[in-house]
A = this chain, B = another copy of it.
Amino acid sequence: MSIHSFIICVSRRYPINTKAKTGEKYHRILEAAAKIFAEKGFHQSTISQIAKKAGVADGTIYLYFKNKDDVLVQFFQYKTKQVFNGFREEVKKGDSAIEKLRNLIHRHLSEFQRDRDMAVVYQSFAYHKNDLVESNIREMSKMYLDIVSEIVEQGQQEGTIRKDLYVGLVKRFILGSVDSAINTWLRSTKGYDLKSMADPLIDLFTRGIGTSESPSE
């Protein structure tokens, strides 16, 4: 919460007073925006639609956000804080690198399954060209990749992860695979259990798809 408040303050010229910071309207607007963005995409969404969904007047959005782009940016910042704190906690619960990786991915899939709107928005924008939002997304990806990096390095020291691998490649390989699993789930019409994909993914990462007969080179 306090971290959240900090975010709001630094991103506005006229800081919102305590009332507004803890105000439900701010969160109502963010959640409404998530729904609309998820449903229609950012550019097809209008401020009027978000305002209507949030049950506020159009102008009210501009009391909390600089402009339409800022709604998206703050949505990311807000969700990222929420979600990433959970990621770090979950990672701590594991001892070995593999355990940590499993915990991370399981939590990642659980959170995105729980908050489908966020998942849609996140996956939509993760690779989308948009100068204003791009830097924020990149920063978020970086945070995730940093967590994975630490785990991979620990694994290499433990001797459970191959030492001949370039960490920069491995971490993206892992994130790419998880993203791919999330996207598949999002597009799937039948709502299967996303978080149950964690173990099969871990298995793929660690053992690979090959058998001992398959030459890697």
Contacts and interface: CB of A to CB of B under 8 A. Distances in A.
A16 interface: no
Interface in A42-96: 43
A18 interface: no
A165 interface: yes
Given A124-B128, A180-B173, A204-B173, A162 B41 contact: no
B172 A209 contact: no
Nearest to A145: B184
Nearest to A52: B14
A183 B129 CA distance: 11
A199 B217 contact: yes
Contacts of A169: 181, 197, 200-201, 204
Nearest to A199: B217
Given A130-B41, A173-B177, A159 B213 contact: yes
Interface string A160-198: 111001100110111111111101100100000000010
A179 B161 CA distance: 23
Task: List the 6 closest pairs (A to B, CB-CB), nearest first.
Answer: A176-B180, A208-B208, A206-B210, A160-B214, A41-B129, A43-B43
Interface string A127-166: 1111000000010000000000000100100011110011
Contacts of A207: 162, 208, 210, 216
A38 B128 CA distance: 10
B172 A176 contact: no
B206 A214 contact: yes
A134 to B, nearest CB: 9
Nearest to A123: B127
Contact of A210 (B123, B160, B197, B213): B160
A34 interface: no
